[in-house]
Structure 1
Amino acid sequence: MIIMMTIPLFPLNTVLFPGGQLPLKIFEVRYLDMISECLRTGQQFGVCLISSGKEVGGSAECYEIGTLAKIIDWDKRDDGILEIVVEGQQRFRLLEKRERANQLAEGDVQLIDDEDDCEELPVEYQLLSDLLRQIAEKFELSYQKEHEKYENAVWVGYRLSEVLPLESEERQELLEIDDVMNRLQHIQDAIEDVTAEEETPDS
């Protein structure tokens, strides 16, 4: 089923993945207004990676594929800055973008039917799950003890896309991949490339 909606957009220099959490500090008036509206109505907004332009001031162009963001925690500081934590929901495709009078971007989007959330991790990618466990334990990530999720192919792919040392454009490429096994293979190839570079002696 095709689901279309119009949502406010928050272009950022980072990629939000479904199921991932992202802390944000809100201080621009246009985004304070947007977050206030979302808190009041329960509406979600779209996070998309900036392709050109800046986060602060003016307008920015963003990539076509982004992620719906749901506010799960917030706190207003004495200096007026709003601190929020959002959680990635469903991916979307940006069909049309425009600006409101207050320079807030909004877009007409089509939600993307994601892969089977319960797809089991194939044995050939078990090393990726093991690597994610090691990273989660080392950095004491919030999901380190959620053992059952480490057998979920979609979840493992998204979490590794977040935590591996990748450029923003590389993370965006992983977000845009529709097939879960294709995403896992891209991650495995990237890890092998880095490992090969580290093992190559300097000439």
Structure 2
Amino acid sequence: MKLPLFPLNTVLFPGCTLDLQIFEARYLDMIGRCMKAGGGFGVVCILQGDEVGLAPSAHAMVGCEALIRDFQRQDNGLLGIRVQGGRRFRVLDTELQRDQLLLAEVKWLHELPDVPLDDRDEDLLALLAALAEHPLVESLDIGSHANGQHALGNKLAYLLPFDDHDKLRLLETDDPSHRLDDIQHLLEKMQGDLFA
């Protein structure tokens, strides 16, 4: 499966929302093609390089499909789009086009069945509800509710201020219970660092 890539300094997770301003010709063309075809593009985290200009020299090999949910011309004249995270994928190979757009051969990652939330997840659910009240999070319309461990893990991994390497590890984790365990450990480490 061929997928155009949009390397960013962020890690997108399934079910989560991201607002982007598009101004480079390669991405305006890509968005136009995606909208015509009714398809999405891939968001991968930049490991080395910049978002603007030449394609980054290194990016994550696991990413998340971005599905266009809304678009509008902004006051500054740029195209603003809102995307929602779809399926996770692994990059098998990339090809750099003349306009510096990366086209990737990807393999969709298998999602394990969702697991219902239980009493152990109450604290993390309360944390999500608290995060959802922040004006920045509220504007993303991600919501404070999670139906199962997949949604809870994805939303927390996306919203919490973990570093990109930790977020990538969480994105690569297939098992929703393991993802929540890892988030709990990262939170404990953050608290430990705060009071050290």
Q: TM-score, normalised by structure 2?
A: 0.91
Identity of aligned residues (%): 38
Distance in 2 between residues matched to 1:47 and 1:27, nearest whole Å: 17
Counterpart of 1:68? 65
The match for 2:29 among 33, 53, 67 is: 33
Cα distance, 1:167–1:145 mapped onto 2, change above 3 Å? closer
Counterpart of 1:192? 188
Contact in 1 for aligned 2:128/2:144 (Cα 8 Å): no
Deviation string 1:149-199 (CA, Å, 9 cap, x unpaired) is 2x5111010111011111122211111111111111111011112222333
- After superposition, residues 153-164 of structure 1 pair within 5 angstroms as 153-164=149-160
Residue ranges of structure 1 left out of the alignment (5+ in a row) = none
The match for 1:133 among 105, 129, 142 is: 129
The match for 1:23 among 15, 19, 25 is: 19
Deviation string 1:9-52 (CA, Å, 9 cap, x unpaired) is 10111011000000000101111110111111112100000111
Q: TM-score, normalised by structure 1?
A: 0.88
Contact in 1 for aligned 2:91/2:105 (Cα 8 Å): yes
Matched, 1:171 2:167: yes
How many residues get paired? 192
Deviation string 1:95-121 (CA, Å, 9 cap, x unpaired) is 00111222211000000111223x112
Cα distance, 1:54–1:195 mapped onto 2, change above 3 Å? same
Counterpart of 2:102? 105
**Rg comparison, structure with higher value:** 1
Residue ranges of structure 2 left out of the alignment (5+ in a row) = none
The alpha carbon displacement at 1:125 in A equals: 2.6
SS at 1:128 equivalent? helix
Counterpart of 2:40? 44
- After superposition, residues 70-109 of structure 1 pair within 5 angstroms as 70-77=67-74, 80-109=77-106
Q: Please, what is the CA RMSD of the aligned residues?
A: 1.7
Cα distance, 1:152–1:42 mapped onto 2, change above 3 Å? same
Cα distance, 1:145–1:96 mapped onto 2, change above 3 Å? closer
Cα distance, 1:197–1:114 mapped onto 2, change above 3 Å? same
Distance in 1 between residues matched to 2:190 and 2:167, nearest whole Å: 15
Cα distance, 1:66–1:168 mapped onto 2, change above 3 Å? same
Letter in 2 for 1:166: F
Contact in 2 for aligned 1:115/1:154 (Cα 8 Å): no
SS at 2:124 equivalent? helix
Deviation string 1:71-100 (CA, Å, 9 cap, x unpaired) is 000012465421100000000000001112
